[in-house]
Structure 1
Amino acid sequence: MPKIAIIISSTRATRFADKPAAWLQGIVAQRTDAEYELVDLRDFPMPFFDEVASNAYVPTQNEVAVRWQKKIAEFDGYIFLTAEYNHAPTAVLKNALDYAYTEWNRKPAAFVGYGSVGAARAIEQLRMIAVELQMAPTRTGVHIQGADFFGAWQQGAALEDMAHLQPGVQAMLDELNWWTVALKTAREA
């Protein structure tokens, strides 16, 4: 069975990420097409990238980064749960992406974003980064934006009660699963 990581890409003490992570976990727990695991960047406190080169060319020296590489190598696909900071992905996520290369290759990436515009601008940048890392970004993403985001963040609204988000989540997961199986089959061949 394919393994998919849900990567929490904010490490701030006051992050919102835990709410959509729990919501997404509840959704994927009902699926039988893959195994899903939360991977929290808080568990991998890497310094800003300071290696001689990418691990595509030179083995990484930082022990936390090596542990990160081994962890993400376990998976066949990824869902990046991301905020948007100043029209961009979080610095800690970009750093984590930079600390690996071969581990990402030929695997699909999907995105769930949150914030005033649902992290749309951050996700577009992440799609370009994913292509450079030889990943296959899916078309459909999930954007928790505007009133939904502010309602869940500040007013106690539950993402589980936002039925209008469900079709997008299911479409994203279906696309991700298709690409995960196709690319896993191709890698193994």
Structure 2
Amino acid sequence: MMKLYTSPTTPFGRKVRLVSALKGLDDQIEVIRADTNPPGNAELMTQNPLGKIPVLILDDGTRLFDSRVICEYLDRLGPDNSPQLIPTAGDERWKTLTRASLADGIAEAGVLIYYEGLYRNESQRNADWVARQQSKVDAGLDYFEQDPPGKNATPDYADISLAAAVGHLDLRHGGRWRNNRPQLVAWLDRFSTAVPAYALTSPPT
């Protein structure tokens, strides 16, 4: 059985778990809660020298990271009757990967803002840096508001990446992203209905 090192709150681990569910692979993956902070991260460091999650350990011991690599591996591993989440060639592949990268960038900036508040005393926080990260989040979300996902009958990898990103914004930033973005809010409602795993992977509050 494969092993997935992750955390309930990381949007990148959640993205992998959503892909696993849509590909019908959950019964082949053991989810292991990983600690990314020392000294509890000693085991994780043996799996990924960067000490970052998620990490997928294959049956033969091969280690895959980061989430983008893991998701593409799982998409190709899934049974023939499972939906293809990442096109293998052509313009649609590059469009899907580009939109997924934008969603990942939103998630990354959101995580950095959260960590700035979590790990730095108020006097040490860099307001200008936080504002730059927030501008990335806002610009990315505005892009998707103007060109909403969900045009395919089945959610694709870009849709999954965005759902994980805004889920993290709901968790860590009070859902403020929803203000003045009705297209995205409506899309997420449809996504969560179409993908039961979205509720099942919802992080604890």
Please confirm whether the aligned pair reaches a TM-score higher than 0.5, indicating the same fold: no
| Higher strand proportion | 1
TM-score by length of 2: 0.28
Q: Which has more radius of gyration? A: 2
| Higher helix proportion | 2
